[in-house]
Structure 1
Amino acid sequence: MDKANLPIIDIGALRHGDKEGSQQAAQLIDRACRDVGFFLVVNHGIPFDSIKATFEHARAFFDLPLKEKLTLSLEKHSNCFRGYAPVLSELADGKPNSYELMEFSVEFEHDHPDVLARKPMHGPNLWPELPGYRAALTRYIEHMIHLGFDLMRGIAMGLGLEDDFFRRAFNGRPFWQFRTAHYPDPASLRAMSSAFPHVGQVPQVEVGDQSCGAHTDYGCLTMLLADSPGLQILTTDGEWVSVPVVPGAYVCNVGDMLQYWTRDTYVATRHRVMTEGERISLPFFFQPDYETIVEPPDLFPVLSSKPFPALRYGPYAFEKYRGIYPGAVFSR
């Protein structure tokens, strides 16, 4: 399969505040978001030791016995879509994905007013009792929040908006989602799935095509690292092409909400994962604050007669999560 010819963009100037260099990076990001919806970034400033520790702790958790992982079940022990989901329990395009994952989001303690008010998607994360795990992932998440805001600043610049347009729109606090995902060796998928009540779904799973089904991300911007290939994007010609794994580079892609915010000026491209072996990935979904009102500015060209009314991000995201985790309980 052909490799995607995605731009590799140096964002060092954007991260360090160099005005001229930031503008150049912003122009490259803007072009990629308009043309293909995917790009890679290097010189991103995320410390190597933090990346390495996050991969190591992710693998340590997935190596635990299934019974221990299920004590953190997203479906049984969380009402806000946090925790562990086994293989074939999460859906993409209505089909089960063949990876297991740990899902995290903004931390809200049990006594937070929004939790007490049963606000959807608000609550505590579920953390495994592995030495150093929570500290390592928390450090990594903090780095990713800063990276996300810098990339959104570059996107604002490329769109001709004020530099802090998205930070203000996000109320200064993203409602991020972060997951660690483990794709087992396809040959072992059937054996892993035999422990679950939805084993009857396994015959319908075509190993390879369903590693992660074709979909678009529903937030604003996804930033991804993976330890092996598998990610593919759908071209405008209807062909699937593989995204190369460039050492040290994050794969970034436009989500549905950023496409909506720009009145379809930017494109959220369908993508999937097809694995040939074991794979660990770290997707970080950079999303608006739950209370953000997404109101597409009039400055973007009208490409169709489709309306773009203002919407509140939180309820939109809540409905999306209900669709991908049909077995989860939730507060509302």
Structure 2
Amino acid sequence: MSTPTADKRLADFQEIPVIDIHPLLHGDDQARREVADELGRAAREVGFFQMMGHGIDGALREGLIHQAKRFFAQSEATKMERYIGRYTHHRGYVPPGEESPDPAKPDMKEAFDLAFELPDDDPEVLAGTPLLGPNPWPDLDGFKEPVAAYYDAAYHVGRALMGGFAMALGLAPQQLLQHVNKPPSQLRLIHYPYNPNAEDAQGIGAHTDYECFTLLLPTAPGLEVMNGAGEWIDVPYQEDTLVVNIGDMLEIWSNGEFVATSHRVRKVKEERYSFPLFFACDYHTDVAPLPELVERHGKAHYAPLKAGDHLYAQTIQTFRYLRERLAKGDITLPEGARAVGSLGQHGKHKEAPL
């Protein structure tokens, strides 16, 4: 688990830092190190930041948003033709109520999920590796190209951030990137329908993200982050920024120096959209506190786990169609599967309620 000192740092924050990463993408070594230092401070003290200078063109962002609106405007029957439960690679349409970290409190949103594209004849797909494979693109003219273009651009930025986070930990940029080749990095197109009866409660329930980190393109306010004192801090909406947060895998690799901070989405009446890219490492990566960090801290604060198995186990426990397959014996939980929300800041608060 992370140290009391880390919890003290989290307790202090009342706002979300803003970081310009343009020098990380285009600057010299000194400029990249300076941005890496900023990334490290944000990852240690907040677990969240807003990112400027990412270079993802406004036309790409608008193209993604436009296609999402087109997809979700279709009839339920048409959207269900790409229902996520029809496929073996966990991609496709997620209807309202399908997903719920807490089965008793389903998230009332809809989504279209896609991920790193691999062809049917890729060795990992032929081997049946969960979460890896092709995307079931909708039969909607003009949809695939702009959505895939946004994915590629955001994934490129994610690779740069991964190198920056490694530098912030005093490592070579490639030390973590060597584990990012065919990752199950998922892009979600999320739609919160207009709900005149909504009360400020759960939109997406409080959670930490399972992967290394998340790059979020929001289109409206509503995201809140929990500080170490258990207070919910608003993430201001800024049109040209992406929101980045640390996930479980990076917290483990950093041995708790970086914190996967709990966050939620307020439940509001207004219709809105959201686009997170969950940046993951390769499925078969063994994630454990890095030796350099264990030496620095004196001991390992986390048990090792396999990245893909952890992600798959969390997904099975979160989606209704997979829970049903599990109950029928069609699939099994990976060995050593952890309960949903057992890692990161959210897990610590479950163990020791504030």
TM-score by length of 2: 0.83
Cα distance between partner residues in 2 of 1:29 and 1:101? 30
Q: Distance in 2 between matches of 1:167 and 1:216?
A: 22
Per-residue deviation, residues 116-160 of structure 1 (Å, max 9, x unmatched): 332222222111122211011111111111100111111111110
Correspondence 1:82 to 2:68: no
1:165 equivalent in alignment to 2:175: yes
- Cα distance in 2 for residues equivalent to 1:309 and 1:49: 43
- Per-residue CA distance 1:288-313 (angstroms, 9 max, x = gap): 01122223212225769765343321
Pairs within 5 Å for 1:309-324: 309-324=303-318
Q: Give, as a single letter, the amino acid of the residue that structure 2 aligns with 1:215.
A: H
Does structure 2 retain, via aligned residues, the 8 Å contact 1:220–1:285? yes
| Aligned twin of 2:345 | none
**Corresponding residue for 2:213?**
221
Alignment partner for residue 296 of structure 1, among 289, 292, 298? 289
The partner residue of 2:165 within 131, 145, 155 is: 155
- Identical counterparts, % of pairs: 35
CA distance in 2, matches of 1:306, 1:144: 32
**Which residue of 2 is the match for residue 187 of structure 1?**
196
Distance 1:268 1:116 in 2: 33
From 103, 110, 113, the equivalent of 1:103 is 113
Q: Distance in 2 between matches of 1:163 and 1:114?
A: 26
Aligned to 1:139: 149
Q: Which residue of 1 aligns with 2:338?
A: none
SS of 1:137's partner is helix
- Of 280, 283, 298, 2:273 maps to 280
SS where residue 102 of structure 1 aligns? strand
Choose between structure 1 and 2 for higher RCO, CA contacts under 8 A separated by at least 6 residues: 1
The verdict on how the C-alpha distance between 1:22 and 1:50 changes in structure 2, with shifts beyond 3 A counting, is: same
Give CA deviations for 1:271-330 in whole Å, capped at 9, x if unaligned.
Answer: 100132111000000000112222321222576976534332111111111111131358
Structure 1, unmatched stretches of 5+, are 189-205
1:69 paired residue among 79, 86, 108: 79
One-letter amino acid of the structure 2 residue matched with residue 107 of structure 1: E
| 5+ residue gaps, structure 2 | 1-12, 333-354
| Of 256, 259, 265, the match for 2:257 | 265
- After superposition, give the CA deviation of every residue in 1:197-236 in whole Å (9 maximum; x if it has no partner): xxxxxxxxx8432210000001001000111011111111
Structure 2 residue aligned with 1:231? 223
Give the Cα–Cα distance (whole angstroms) in 1 for the partners of residues 96 and 235 of structure 2. 23
Contact 2:131 2:184 in 1 (8 A): no
Would the alpha carbon gap of residues 4 and 224 (structure 1) be closer, same or farther in structure 2, given more than 3 Å must change?
farther
In structure 2, the CA distance between the partners of 1:112 and 1:299, relative to structure 1 (3 Å rule), is closer
SS in 1 for 2:292: coil
- Please report the TM-score for the alignment, with normalisation by the length of structure 1: 0.88
- CA displacement 1:237-276 (0-9 Å, x = unmatched): 1111211111210100000111111111111111100132
Residue of structure 1 in register with 2:3 after alignment = none
1:18-43 Cα distance to aligned partner (Å, 9 max, x none)? 22211111111100100110001101
Pairwise CA RMSD: 2.1
Measure the CA separation in 1 of the matches of 2:286 and 2:243: 27
Q: What amino acid maps onto 1:124 in structure 2?
A: P
Shift of 1:113: 3.3
